Structure formats: structure tokens, C-alpha cells
Amino acid sequence: MLWRAIRNMEVMVHSSSFLLPKLHQPAKIPANNYNLVVLNQHLPRFMPRLWAQAKLRICADGGANRIFDEMSQMTSDQDNESNRNRYIPEIIEGDMDSIRPEVKIFYSHQGTKISDKSHNQETTDLHKCISSIRDRTPNHEKSDLCVLVTGALGGRFDHEAANINVLYVFSDMRIVLLSDDCLIRLLPKTHQHEIYIESSLEGPHCGLFPIGAPSKSTTTTGLKWNLSDAKMKFGRMISTSNIVDSEKVTVQSDADLLWTISLRNLT
Ligand SMILES: Nc1ncnc2c1ncn2[C@@H]1O[C@H](COP(=O)(O)OP(=O)(O)OP(=O)(O)O)[C@@H](O)[C@H]1O
Ligand SMILES: Cc1ncc(C[n+]2csc(CCO)c2C)c(N)n1
């Protein structure tokens, strides 16, 4: 269990140990309890490791093109054609306006479930993927399940904003947005937060700020520039270009905050 009760408010524990090779993962934190969502952006360097350890792999529409085109080249132990058969997502979900016809046919012949939601033009493909994960996860597994999303940043700003909005829409789920350079999580105000830093993989640069609503009071430990009962909002102070100063960072706030930390040059 990743939740503990301290002074009436539960503690939510966060770790990026999913980025570690399996051999180095701490036994007490089940790093492979995650679903992987692949968006339609270039695959991060560490994709083969994330793919291998995921419980379930879902491509958001054109994300399937990325697996088809790029994954076999990232793992060059066989020729591209036979390598392609080794990376089969369980589900492709979305409005199917970006997946190429030959990619759709290839994966459906391999047994991938194609979930065509083209009738829904109100929510994004990522939103559809997260809804589907929420619906298929049994209640008793929901609080521990983590969803890793690759390709969430570094592209069109409306897509990036929609991807961040998904963190708020599904604030009761543990969703991590990933790019090659950083990760982002939501820290809900309903909990105190303990963030365990994998310093071989992440940091030192980090940021902490509210997007949805201002914070009247945020307190942290473990940062170079800690906040003590501080106010934060866009237009005033937000914490960017901060530095992690400890293996454990703690955060308590009266507002939902985004936590972001840089990723080192992982492969
Ligand atoms: N340039 C980008 N920057 C950030 N995220 C992206 C970008 N392009 C695609 N994505 C993510 O990948 C998902 C699938 O993208 P795809 O290109 O298949 O569909 P889309 O029609 O552009 O997106 P949507 O249907 O969700 O509006 C999107 O929902 C989004 O989350
Ligand atoms: C106010 C409003 N703005 C934009 C869209 C368009 N839109 C948002 S998500 C989506 C699906 C993309 O796969 C589309 C077309 C809308 N419906 N409502």
C-alpha cells in the first residue's frame, strides 16, 4: 500500500522507480504495477524498459504508428520486421483519425483490441484511454495503479494543455506524464505528499505550482528553495528552477499542485 495516515490527512507516496532496471527496483515498492499509454509523439529513449514492465499497454490512436515505426529500431537485436511482432499493444483507443490503415490492420491481426471512439469528438484520445483504464481496473486495485503516459510534452501547446487537464479530470488516479526530459504529476490537496527521488534517474531541477486554483498555503521540505506557508499563483510567485536537496521531498498544500522534475539522460 502506498498510502499512510498521519495527522488525519493521508500521505501519498510517490516514486519514479518504474524508470529503474528491474534488478535495481526496491522490493517494497511494486514498480511494475502500471499501465502504459503511448501518445502520438516520438518515443522516449527509455521506452523499451517501460514497455517490458507494463501490466497493460494502450496506444492512443496515432501512438500506434509510433510503436510500429520506431519501437523495432530502438531494440535492434533482430531485423525490423520480426522485431515488430514483439511489441503488440493490448489496446488501441481513440477517434482513429491518425492511425494509418496498414498499422490498424497489422495490430488487429495480432490480436490487439481496436476501440474505435470516432463518435466522440468531445474528449481527447488520451482522455479516452484513461477512462478506459479506469473502467477496466477493479476497485481494490485503483488506489495503487499508476498510469505512465509517454509523449505528453514537447509538441503542440493545445495538446500539452489537454494532457495536463487529464491529470485534473482524473485527479483520483496516479497519472505520470513523461517526455524525454521531465515528468509531471498532480499532487492533490486531499493528501500530504512524500516524493522519493531516484537521484540516478531524476533531478536536480524541479518545479511546483498550482494551475487550477491559487494556493494560499504551501509548505515543503527537501528542496533548495523550500516554501513555508507560501502563497502561489500565476501572475505572482510560482516555484520553477528549484533544486531537489534530499532523497525525500515533502509537500503539503491547500491547492492541487503540479510537481515536475527533470529526467537524466536515461536509456
Ligand atoms: N504534438 C503533440 N503534443 C502533445 N501531445 C500530443 C501531440 N500529438 C499528439 N499528442 C497526444 O497523442 C494523442 C493521440 O494523438 P493523435 O495525433 O492520434 O490524435 P489527434 O487527433 O491529434 O488528438 P485528439 O484526437 O486527442 O485531439 C492525443 O490525444 C494527445 O494526447
Ligand atoms: C469547446 C470545444 N472545443 C473544442 C472541441 C473539439 N474537440 C475537443 S476534443 C476533440 C476530439 C479529438 O479527438 C475535439 C474535436 C470541442 N468538442 N469542444
All structural domains of the chain, each given as residue ranges with its CATH number in brackets, are 1-27+181-267 (2.60.120.320), 32-180 (3.40.50.10240)
* 229 CB near ligand 1 (under 6 Å): no
- The pLDDT of 176-193, averaged and rounded, is 97
Task: Give the position, in ligand 1's atom list, of the atom nearest the Cα of 153.
Answer: 4
Around ligand 2, the residues with Cβ closer than 6 Å are 95, 121-125
Query: Tens of pLDDT along 16-27?
Result: 999 988 766 665
Ligand 1 centroid distance, CA of 48 (Å): 21
How far away, in angstroms, is 195 Cα from ligand 1 center? 29
Report the atom number in ligand 1 closest to the C-alpha of 162.
31
Pocket flag, ligand 1, residue 97 (CB < 6 Å): yes
How close is the Cα of 124 to the center of ligand 2, in Å?
7
Model-wide pTM > 0.90: yes
**How high is the ipTM of this complex?**
0.89
Band of residue 74 on the pLDDT scale cut at 50, 70, 90: confident
SS3 of the chain: the string is: CCEEEECCEEEEEEECHHHCCHHHCCCCCCCCCEEEEECCCCCCCCHHHHHHHCCEEEEECCHHHHHHHHHHHHCCCCCHHHHHCCCCCCEEEECCCCCCHHHHHHHHHCCCEEEECCCCCCCCHHHHHHHHHHHHCCHHHHCCCEEEEECCCCCCHHHHHHHHHHHHHCCCCEEEEECCCEEEEEECCCCEEEEECCCCCEEEEEEEECCCCCEEEEEEECECCCCCCEEECCCCCCEEEEEECCCEEEEEECCCEEEEEEECCCC
